[in-house]
A = this chain, B = another copy of it.
Amino acid sequence: MRRSREDTAETRREIVAAASRLFRKNGIAATSIADVMGELGMTVGGFYRHFADKDQLVAEAIEQASEASTKTITSEAALVRAYLSKEHCDHPERGCPVAALCSEIGHEGKGPRRAFTDAVRAMVAALEPRDKKTRLADLATAVGAVVIARAVDDAKLRDEILAAARAAIDD
């Protein structure tokens, strides 16, 4: 059953949004096309009316997540307050795609890696007023802290890492 142009465009947006959430929450490899389409109450076949393959979806999902996430990083102060928060650690599905996908992206194709690199550049640019070396180091500290905090199975160690990173970026 054919859909209207608006419905079609809306479906495409919803696929990217669902994929963006699921990839950040569960990982790219661990998220199937069926999982993504299931989020919209749809079946797998329809996916290929919108995308050539999974790689294309991964790239667009990273772009979309990057746009939304970069808006929240307007300064070093925001990096300390919002990025290095328990809230951000607890909700990767609506957080930074760089922190969520960093060690998995190396196993993906060219498209996804390009999108990831652009996301890193956008974060560096978002911290603009500071000199570039400081911005890059702060980015490494913030991403490293969130990724390790999420990976570790001890809440006390997690809080210590986040606090240490906050203190380091604040100078």
A interface residues, Cβ below 8 angstroms from B: 26-27, 29-30, 98-107, 110, 113-114, 116-117, 120-121, 132-137, 139-145, 147-148, 150-154, 157, 160-161, 163-165, 167-168
Contacts and interface: CB of A to CB of B under 8 A. Distances in A.
Give the interface SS of chain A, mostly helix, strand, loop or mixed: helix
Contacts of A103: 27, 99-104, 147, 150-151
Q: How many chain copies? A: 2
Contacts of A106: 27, 150-151
A157 B118 CA distance: 11
B167 A137 contact: yes
B153 A148 contact: no
Given A101-B103, A104-B27, A160 B140 contact: no
A133 B101 CA distance: 26
A98 B148 contact: yes
Contacts of A133: 163-164, 167-168
Contact of A140 (B116, B120, B132, B164): B164
A168 B137 contact: yes
